[in-house]
Every structure is written in structure tokens, then in C-alpha cells.
Structure 1
């Protein structure tokens, strides 16, 4: 899903996933621990470039790279910290339509410092736009381009699936107004959804 939006917070800047980010992303995904946490298959560098292009053009995927905020004038001077994704499943008019959220803070130096929470607030505000509950908790930069169709989505369509053992991530989404709605024992994961009226 192509967007030119750049979302700035106090600690992070979200920028569209471009070819210039692929080398670092590939380095991250060469780590077997990160691959296991993200349920990802190993790819060659060429395959990673192909994947970046497909994701950029896919109308069902929205991906931002999370930068640690430093120099606002030169975004290339900001360190890559991780990525955040939205995967659309189905059509907005379908009863079972959902928007699945994923986030990864790949760099150890940026974990447990509020980067994931701020990145999620920025992303979720952007993809829901003025739909509560996120409209009141995060202010997007002026002149932020609107999200591309079929966004925005209603917060009630947001879903996240997390390993039951990943308590820090579960607590993170609880802070954002998500609640556990289902435990899928066969996959050892919980499904969490935005509860309307929270936050």
C-alpha cells in the first residue's frame, strides 16, 4: 500500500518502507531469534528487495519503518529501530473484515523505552484517522496525507495475535485499549481486539 505519509512522534518517526531500508531489515531478519518471534522465513537479500517492492504495491499491506528520532532535517541520519505493519484481510464491507497489526523493535538499544507504544499510537491514529478512540490520544503532524483506500478502518476491526508467552507485548496492547478475546491453544497465541469506548 503506497503512502507518502511520514509520522513524527516525540521518540520515533515512521517512514514508508523503501528500498534504502532493505539492507538493514535483511540484517535483522538474519537473526534466528527475530525470525522465530516474527514467524518469518529466511530470505536472501535479493528476495528481501523483491518482498519490499511487493509490499509497497500490495493494497492489503501498509508498512512503516520505525526510526529513532534524532535529526528531523535528514531522515537518513535517524537510526532504524524496527517496523510496524497493518495487514488487511477481506473487504471493509465484509462482516469478517479485519486489520491485523504487527510491530517489531529489532534493535535491542530501543526496546523497553516506549518506542513501540508511541509507534503504535501514531500508526493506529493514522489508519483510523478521526475515528475514536485514537483521535484523542495522538496528534498527527499537520498536512499528513490521508491514508490510502480502503483505509481508514474502524478501531473495532483492529486485531493482533501474540504468543501467549510474550507478556510484554500483551501488556503493551492492553495499554492501547485492546482486550484478549480468544486463546488459540494450537498456535499458543492470544487474539486481542480493540474494545470500543476504551482509551
Structure 2
């Protein structure tokens, strides 16, 4: 999404930066991992295809795609993290929120913590809440949903138990749950996110 291409989102332990060309090498490496491909229901891409995908995500007005940086690995001595230039070694994963239907104000959340050393540390909860806050307050999203394979127990636990999403559909042919968090009124979404 071009209108958020200069925006960084900040949490206590994470920094979300727009997915740029300097992140391609790490992202491509992550997406060769069979377990990540399985968990994300993805197919491996060539580097050329990955470049095309990054450009399409950047230019798609319905997608907000960020790379997660772990704050504990950032050098913020200047007051601002250096997120430009060479490939960053401290990328922890990819976060993508896809706004599916603007008139219905809904968005799909896709979260991936690619580096195994950064999993099971609460970053997924912080990441989802940070992105939901941005979506609710800046994009006026009132329904967030996720699609998760029935074998991806970590993601199911994250969204069901920790974030309170509820099942709204199941696609037997894909073995995939759809979970949602929705509010009928804007005030309810604000309260849900701030709690």
C-alpha cells in the first residue's frame, strides 16, 4: 500500500517497517524453509518471483506489508533505527495485513515469525495488536480475520486463546479455519484494542 510505504509502527519489543527491496534476501531465504511454507500454505518462489511479489504488495492499495524487526537487536543509539541500506540481519519475520473489502471495513491478518529464535516470546501477540491498532484507527477496520491451517497449532492458540478470535468458517478442502474478531460499532473495536 503506497500510502503506508513511509510508515513504521512501533511496539515495546518490535518495530514494523515497510517491506522493501533490502529485505528480499532474508525473506526469500525464509520462504525456502519447508516448515514455513507449510505453515503459511505457500509455494517456494524464485528470487525473481519474490521481487515481483514485493513490488506487487508495495503497489497494491489493499495491502499493508511490514517486516518485523526485533528491538533488542536494533542499534537505536542515534534515536532512530537504521532501517535503510544493506540487508538487515535482525529481521524476525513478515507481517502482512490485507484489506479485503473496503466497503465492509475488514482485513485479513497474516503473521509469520520466521526466525525460530524469536518465536514463543510474545512477539506474535504484540505484532497482531500493533497491526490491529493501526488498522482500526487509520484504516477504519472493524473486522479482522485470519485463515489458519488446522495443523498450525501455534497460530490457532495465538488467535483463539490469546487474542480472543472466534471461528466463523472452516474450509474442509483446504483444512483451514477462518477465525475473526469483529465489532458492530467503532467504539467496541477501540475498547477491544485498548484493553
TM over 0.5: yes
Could you tell me how far apart the structure 2 residues matched to 1:193 and 1:66 are?
Answer: 23
Q: Secondary structure in 2 aligned to 1:75? A: coil
Q: Which aligned pairs between 1:1-199 and structure 2 lie closer than 5 A?
A: 1-2=1-2, 3=4, 4-69=6-71, 70-72=74-76, 73-76=80-83, 79-90=90-101, 92-94=102-104, 98-129=106-137, 147=138, 151-154=139-142, 157-174=143-160, 175-196=162-183, 197=188
Q: Which of structure 1's runs of 4+ aligned residues deviate more than 4 A?
A: none
* TM-score, scaled relative to structure 1: 0.80
Q: Secondary structure in 1 aligned to 2:120? A: coil
Could you tell me how far apart the structure 1 residues matched to 2:97 and 2:39 are?
Answer: 17
Contact kept in structure 1, 2:99 and 2:107, CA below 8 Å? yes
- Deviation digits for residues 152-173 of structure 1, max 9, x if unmatched? 211xx21111112222211211
Structure 1 residue 117: Cα displacement: 0.9
Could you tell me how far apart the structure 2 residues matched to 1:78 and 1:118 are?
Answer: 21
Higher mean C-alpha deviation, range 27-36 or range 9-18 = 27-36
Q: What is the total number of aligned residue pairs between the two structures?
A: 174
Structure 1 residue 78: Cα displacement: 6.8
* TM-score, scaled relative to structure 2: 0.82
Structure 1 residue 7: Cα displacement: 1.1
- CA 5–83 in structure 1, closer or farther in 2 if over 3 Å, else same: same
Could you tell me how far apart the structure 2 residues matched to 1:173 and 1:32 are?
Answer: 23
Structure 1 residue 33: Cα displacement: 1.9
Structure 1 residue 195: Cα displacement: 4.1
Could you tell me how far apart the structure 2 residues matched to 1:71 and 1:107 are?
Answer: 19
Structure 1 residue 71: Cα displacement: 2.3
Could you tell me how far apart the structure 1 residues matched to 2:178 and 2:81 are?
Answer: 38
